[in-house]
Chains A and B, each alone.
Chain A
Amino acid sequence: MMEEVNEVTSTLSVDIQSIKVTEVVKDGHTLTFLIESEKLSGTGVYHVDRTYDDFEWLQQHLFSQEEVSGIQGVIFPPLPVKAQVNASAKVIKQLGILGLGEWQAYCKAMETFVRQIAAHSILGKNNAVEIFLTSSDPPGRHRVRKNIFNRLSQAMEGMRKEGHKDVDEFFQTERDHNLVFTGCAKTAAERFLDVVQTEQKIAVACGNFSTALRLCVEQGEDPDELDFSKVCVKLSEVFESIQKNVTSVAENNVSTLGLGLDLESRYQEAEKEMLYRRTCKLVELETTRRNAEKAKPVKKAAMEEVKKAAETEFDHISGVAKEEIARLQAARVKMLQQALVQWCEKQLLTAKESADQFNQHLQAFRGMA
């Protein structure tokens, strides 16, 4: 039975750090994610399965919390683009590094999404989060009322507000910087994806070479033929090792720095969205001010009311936004640092293992001479 999502505030009954997307299951065209979380009471673990629709349901709920003051100043944790089995080329491109392989990176990104929401001081209190994580009944089947965060609809309002000058220097700087940084982050993530994809191609080529060498093995008894075959077999092994090495390097890239750059890029976009909402609100505010000034005495009081409401809301939004920006700055630096450290550690480990392997091969070759 579907619980009513009435209460705005509730405390999450699970340990946020324990939230895991453990598996993804292909069901026809749909991907189903298995999510696990430990009960804070220590009495066990919740297992739920969720599709992308359920994630979207969660997001929509959070978007539609109009009653929370300043909600528009929140930088919403970004939800990855919808993934599908046999996704179209366009979707694959949008997914970037998350679209690689068998959705391991994608699962991690979804997991991060849920954790970020659960840990958010405002968003985490929404009951929808609890339901999402604990209810055995998938919540996504139920429609949510339309939310106010559909950027497309705002854009369709016509006026290009993005460039609108800000009244607050802090925010103007932040907007300018965000504009540049969003571009850089996106580019970096895309370029890294290129590197990883090329590494994968190299791995495939090494595998092919390894196989082709094995096919060169001759069955004769001639000593030179046998020597030749031995060389081919050994070389084939070497290239298999090379293949393994390159594959590991690529995997390490994806699971650490790749995810980090991807998340950074999407968070910058999320901040951009938030700043845009605030800017729109600013425009709205200035409009109400003008209206109040120009209003005829009959309407003046009403216009003043509207203006005051807009001012209050704008202040709230700006207040929340400032906090969110500070929070984001701290969090993303930490996140990238972790990503870089893990990346280095993993690559160093892989490199050492491979170096050992290659050394063995070298010794073996020398022994054959």
Chain B
Amino acid sequence: MAASSDRIPPPLLPAKEEPGAATPDMADGDSDEGEDIFVNNSVPVAVSRGVSHPDNVNEQTPDLFGEEEAGSTTAISNGVHSDDDNDLFAEAHVELNTPGGSAPKEPSSSSGLRPASSFTTSPAALQPTSLEQMEEDEAEDSFDVDVAVTNPEKVGDGMGAYVAYKVSTRTSLAMFRNKTFSVRRRFSDFLGLYEKLSIKQSLHGFIIPPPPEKSVVGMTKVKVGMDDPSSVEFVERRRGALERQGSTRFIQYLQRVVSHPSLLQDPDVREFLEREELPRAVSTQALSGAGFLKMINKASDAVNKMTIKMNESDTWFEDKFQEMENEEQQLRKLQAVVDSLVYHRKELCGSTAVFAKSMAMLGNSEDNTALSRALSQLAEVEDKMEQLHQEQAASDFFIFAELLADYIRLMGAMRGCFDQRVRAWQRWQESQSTLQKKRESEAKLLWANKPDKLQQAKEEITEWESRVTQYERDFDRIGMTVRKEVLRSFTFSFL
């Protein structure tokens, strides 16, 4: 997987992004400044950042972990800031497949789960000619577009504050203005990109990569000692460390987008990567978190409720769909179990911390000096253990829980792709029935002898005939694309 788990992300400034406020995007003072972030052995370079506009902010953010941050400063105004992560692209490299099939790379991440590989059916199982043809059609000279997401920075204060990320691109493609460039983007921009893509690309049969999830899923407040007010604050303290991982998800999302040859051509994608200021994406709140899956499921339901049921002439789709559903079920089961594990691990952090406190108190009230010292030391050891438990919980969360959640979202995206095909079929069917109706009304007009209306009717029939042909072609084309997409999706460039 391109988003490796042993990459050390830069420290993240914690801030809650404020949904719906009308603050415009930050001016990005960050384009090509010659910062050398692509070379392996470069030393950290001081980079000046744009200055925030505090007057845009109107409300108060509860600052959840103000005391947490070392590293990146909240000093947005002074602008001196060094890049912790020198070679952003060390593990970000994406290579598109050359013709002839997928070349699975060894994933550099330590996560062993690759359920997707269970899907890879050898091309020979399908109609050989059309598939090979497809792959040849796709043949381009291999090119690269590398994307990195770094330097999350809190912008603004109070309720209007949000986190802006630096999105850096390195490419040899002619369609971009420069070879290397970067922009600042916020979370809603990512959602906005997804929204645009899913609307515009909805009838091609592409798997639109699911948008990244912002909320640190699973970091719900765990109930520990009810009488211990500090236990709640304690759980929150650790969120900062986990927020760092947010960048990883964004990178993954962008790399999936740019590694899709057709999506890469979409001007919105180019704009996202290149354009200095993006108009603020609104009403994307519904998409974040579990919203994406809800949306997909709603769309699927709508498709299923259509009165004309699809007669599947090609069992490949049915079989594949069934396979996907089974896989999704399995993933959900795993997810449930992993979520439970992560939850209890976090519980353990809390109870360890509380226990440590009680031992400290016991040590304090102990008369015997040696025993008192021993108990106090035990309290300290338990505090350290609590940190270890935190790391373990976070590790389990990011290696397993997030991975599974991501796969499940991918499955959702794939289902969306299949739904596109069904909708194309329905559109075709509807056009056929409309054509039929037009013919019937033409017949009626012939009989009723109304020559002027007849002319119109003939024109309409011609129009609809061509539509029927068009939609049938669309449907076939989508079918092929979906097939291609499904195969492509189980190469590592996708994952």
User: What is A's interface to B at a CB cutoff of 8 Å?
Assistant: 177, 180-181, 184-185, 187-188, 190-192, 194-195, 198-199, 201-202, 205-206, 208-209, 212-213, 215-216, 218, 220, 222, 224-225, 227-228, 231, 234-235, 329, 333, 336-337, 340, 365, 369
| Closest chain B CB from A224 CB (angstroms) | 4
Contact A202 to B344, CB < 8 A, known contacts A184-B362, A216-B330: yes
Chain B, range 316-368, C-beta contacts under 8 Å to A: 330, 333-334, 337-338, 340-341, 344-345, 347-348, 351-352, 354-355, 357-359, 361-362, 365-368
Contact A216 to B225, CB < 8 A, known contacts A206-B341, A222-B120, A225-B118: no
**Are B345 and A202 interface neighbours, CB within 8 A?**
yes
A220–B323 Cα gap in the complex (Å)?
13
Q: Which of B11-19, B108-116, B135-143, B244-252 forms contacts with chain A? A: B108-116
| Closest chain B CB from A234 CB (angstroms) | 7
**Are A222 and B121 interface neighbours, CB within 8 A?**
yes
Known contacts A180-B365, A201-B347, A218-B118; can you find 7 more A-B pairs with CB under 8 A?
A177-B365, A181-B366, A187-B362, A202-B344, A234-B112, A333-B368, A337-B370
**Are B362 and A185 interface neighbours, CB within 8 A?**
yes
Number of residue pairs spanning A and B whose beta carbons lie under 8 angstroms apart: 105
Q: Which of B120, B224, B351 has the most CB of A within 10 A?
A: B351
A223–B378 Cα gap in the complex (Å)?
51
Which residue of B is nearest A211, CB measured?
B337
B374 within 8 A of A: yes
A168–B371 Cα gap in the complex (Å)?
27
A177–B170 Cα gap in the complex (Å)?
70
B122 within 8 A of A: yes
> With a CB–CB cut-off of 8 A, which chain B residues contact A205?
337, 340-341, 344
| Closest chain B CB from A251 CB (angstroms) | 16
B6 within 8 A of A: no
Query: A191 is contacted by which of B225, B334, B338 (Cβ under 8 Å)?
Result: B225
**Are A198 and B344 interface neighbours, CB within 8 A?**
yes
B117 within 8 A of A: yes
> With a CB–CB cut-off of 8 A, which chain B residues contact A333?
368, 370-371
B55 within 8 A of A: no
A213–B114 Cα gap in the complex (Å)?
12
B106 within 8 A of A: yes
Interface size class on chain B is 35 or more
Which residue of B is nearest A330, CB measured?
B368
**Are B351 and A222 interface neighbours, CB within 8 A?**
no
> With a CB–CB cut-off of 8 A, which chain B residues contact A194?
224-225, 351, 354-355
| Closest chain B CB from A252 CB (angstroms) | 14
**Are B371 and A195 interface neighbours, CB within 8 A?**
no
Contact A340 to B378, CB < 8 A, known contacts A194-B355, A198-B348: yes
> With a CB–CB cut-off of 8 A, which chain A residues contact B224?
194
**Are B120 and A212 interface neighbours, CB within 8 A?**
no
Which residue of A is nearest B340, CB measured?
A205
Residue pairs across A and B with Cβ atoms less than 8 A apart, 26 shown, are A180-B365, A181-B365, A184-B358, A187-B358, A187-B362, A191-B351, A194-B224, A195-B352, A202-B341, A202-B348, A206-B341, A208-B337, A209-B334, A209-B341, A212-B334, A213-B334, A215-B330, A215-B333, A220-B118, A222-B118, A225-B117, A225-B118, A231-B112, A234-B112, A333-B368, A333-B371
> With a CB–CB cut-off of 8 A, which chain A residues contact B334?
209, 212-213, 216
| Closest chain B CB from A263 CB (angstroms) | 14
Query: B340 is contacted by which of A199, A208, A228 (Cβ under 8 Å)?
Result: A208
Which residue of A is nearest B393, CB measured?
A202
Query: B361 is contacted by which of A187, A192, A198, A213 (Cβ under 8 Å)?
Result: A187
A365–B110 Cα gap in the complex (Å)?
9
| Closest chain B CB from A54 CB (angstroms) | 34
**Are A224 and B337 interface neighbours, CB within 8 A?**
no
Q: Which of A191, A192, A231, A329 has the most CB of B within 10 A?
A: A191
Contact A191 to B118, CB < 8 A, known contacts A212-B334, A231-B113: no
Name the 10 nearest CB pairs between A and B, nearest first: A224-B117, A205-B341, A191-B355, A194-B351, A188-B358, A201-B344, A191-B358, A198-B348, A231-B112, A184-B362
Which residue of B is nearest A368, CB measured?
B112
Contact A209 to B338, CB < 8 A, known contacts A198-B348, A198-B351, A199-B348: yes
A209–B336 Cα gap in the complex (Å)?
9
A184–B333 Cα gap in the complex (Å)?
43
| Closest chain A CB from B386 CB (angstroms) | 10
**Are A188 and B355 interface neighbours, CB within 8 A?**
yes
> With a CB–CB cut-off of 8 A, which chain B residues contact A188?
355, 358-359, 361-362
**Are B365 and A191 interface neighbours, CB within 8 A?**
no
> With a CB–CB cut-off of 8 A, which chain A residues contact B347?
198, 201
Which residue of A is nearest B125, CB measured?
A222
> With a CB–CB cut-off of 8 A, which chain A residues contact B359?
188
A194–B352 Cα gap in the complex (Å)?
8
**Are A228 and B117 interface neighbours, CB within 8 A?**
yes
> With a CB–CB cut-off of 8 A, which chain B residues contact A365?
112
> With a CB–CB cut-off of 8 A, which chain B residues contact A369?
106
Which residue of A is nearest B346, CB measured?
A198
A216–B345 Cα gap in the complex (Å)?
24
Which residue of B is nearest A210, CB measured?
B337
**Are B362 and A212 interface neighbours, CB within 8 A?**
no
| Closest chain A CB from B73 CB (angstroms) | 37
| Closest chain A CB from B419 CB (angstroms) | 26
Which residue of B is nearest A181, CB measured?
B365
Which residue of A is nearest B327, CB measured?
A216
| Closest chain B CB from A147 CB (angstroms) | 32
Which residue of B is nearest A206, CB measured?
B341
| Closest chain A CB from B104 CB (angstroms) | 8
**Are B337 and A192 interface neighbours, CB within 8 A?**
no
A329–B365 Cα gap in the complex (Å)?
13
| Closest chain B CB from A237 CB (angstroms) | 12
A308–B386 Cα gap in the complex (Å)?
59
> With a CB–CB cut-off of 8 A, which chain A residues contact B330?
215-216
A369–B361 Cα gap in the complex (Å)?
49
| Closest chain B CB from A354 CB (angstroms) | 13
| Closest chain A CB from B325 CB (angstroms) | 15
> With a CB–CB cut-off of 8 A, which chain B residues contact A190?
358
A291–B83 Cα gap in the complex (Å)?
87
> With a CB–CB cut-off of 8 A, which chain A residues contact B345?
202
